Every structure is written in structure tokens, then in C-alpha cells.
Amino acid sequence: MKSRLGFRELVARGADVVKGDVHWSDEHRVYLKAKLKCQSCGHQDPIRGAVQYQLPDGTALSAGQHMGLLPKEAIAQCRSCSARWPVFKGGSTAAIGAGSGAVETIETDRSLVPHRTDPLELDNLDGTSPLKHTVTISQEWAQTVQLDDEKSKVEGGTTSADLPGVGTFGRKAEAAVKSTYSITEGTKKALTREFSFEVPPGTKRVVSFNYAQVWQHEVARLRGADGAVAEIPFKVAVDMTVNVAQHDTTA
Ligand SMILES: [Zn+2]
């Protein structure tokens, strides 16, 4: 049967489709285009990715950094064969964060924000045998960074006194965060799942696919030369989830 989701949304897509103007290295672009498949050993994991992201010294990067906050020197390492390659193109990423001090980030909590609900009606009221229906849902979302300017604060130093609010130094810190994290901003991802239903005869089932955006909350901390410390809370969209609610009515 034809579902009310429409066929446009039934096209199966990889879990990690990447579009947009991100300056990936050639190696990483090939890995992404191959739906997260290591080109050395063929290991593939379309949900989690085949690689662990890390710094050049081998320090593993956090989940939040995986999704939206990869530093320009990030290395991808295959979980299976340990092949390593740079994530970003050297030349085009060198300018990112230029002119700003190092930004230290601290992960705080995660939150789930309802995104949208798609209904699906499976009407088997007049049926005499079970109605079987399989649907593939796909929801595209964008990696996004949102600064919480209202909660920004600057402590110490001399620059915090020059203007109300976070002042000049605070605004510099915000600009640093924006430029550091703009690298993957707007990168599109897609959540894709398949669901199967079996509706008994004489039954109408109304299904709701409830999507929610997962946000990782973090605080960026920037230290100025004069001892000032700026703290800027922000959040990064790191995942999309779906849960299914269903309600049956009988004839
Ligand atoms: Zn491999």
C-alpha cells in the first residue's frame, strides 16, 4: 500500500550523507562518499562510522567533536585496520580560527528537542488477513552550532569593564568560537530507519514517527593575555532520533 509519508521520503539514504561546502581531504571525501567505508580494508559502519577521530598525537576526540567540532588537524583512524588519514584539506582549513587564542571546550549535558511528527495510517478495518507494511523513513538534519550569547560572561582582566555585557573580549571570544566551529556548520546528515508493521484484520492503526534533535551542550572558554577568561555556552546538533507511537482502533 502507499503510505502517507510519500515516496520522496522512502528513498533509502546512507546514515551519514554529507553535502555542503566542507573542505575534506581527498581521502576523507572518498571515505564519506563510500558511505563510511574504509578504503584500506573495506570495513564499513553506516551508523557509527568506520573510524575513530583523534588528534595527531592519538588522543581520541569526544562524541560532540565527532559530529560538529572536529579540529582542523583531526585524524581519522579505521577501527578495524587502523589506517589513518587527515580529515581536512591542509590548505583550506589553515585559516580557521586564525588570529584567535586557543578555545577550550567543556561538554556539559545533552538535550532532546522535538523536531517533527509524521503520521502514517494503516487501515485494515475491511481486511480479512493481516496487513503487512514496511516503511523506510528518512529525516534530513543539519549540523548546527548555536551560541547562547545571553549567558556569555567575562571574568578578570581589564577588558571586561569597557562595555556592558560581555564587552570587546567576549565578542572576540564569540567570533573565535564561530570561526572554529563553522567548518562543519550546515553539513547535512540524514537519519534513515526501516520499520515493519503487521496490522490484524478489522483494525486501523495510526502510527506517529516522532523525531527529536539531540543537542550537545558545551561551554567554550577563552583566555586573554591580560588574564580575562570568557565563557560562552553553546550547543551543537549532534544527532537525530525517531521513536514510534501507535494507536489501534477496531471495527
Ligand atoms: Zn580499515
First-residue to last-residue Cα distance in the chain: 20
What predicted TM-score, i.e. pTM, was given to this entire model?
0.53
Q: What is the pLDDT of residue 66?
A: 47
| Cα 194 to ligand 1 centre (Å) | 27
| Cα 41 to ligand 1 centre (Å) | 4
Considering the four listed CATH numbers 3.40.50, 3.40.630, 2.170.15, 2.30.30, the one that applies to the domain covering 104-250 is 2.170.15
> Cell digits for 220?
567554550
Which regions of the chain carry the CATH code 2.170.15? 104-250
| Cα 83 to ligand 1 centre (Å) | 6
* Helix, coil or strand: residue 90: helix
> Cell digits for 145?
552550532
For 132-185, the DSSP string reads EEEEEEEEEEE--EEE-GGG-EEESTTGGGSSSTTHHHHHHHHHHHHHHHTTST
Q: What is the pLDDT of residue 189?
A: 85
For 179-194, the DSSP string reads HHHTTSTT-EEEEEEE
Q: What is the pLDDT of residue 237?
A: 85
Query: With a cut of 50, which residues of the chain have pLDDT below it?
Result: 1-21, 65-68, 91-101, 159-165
Q: What is the pLDDT of residue 173?
A: 63
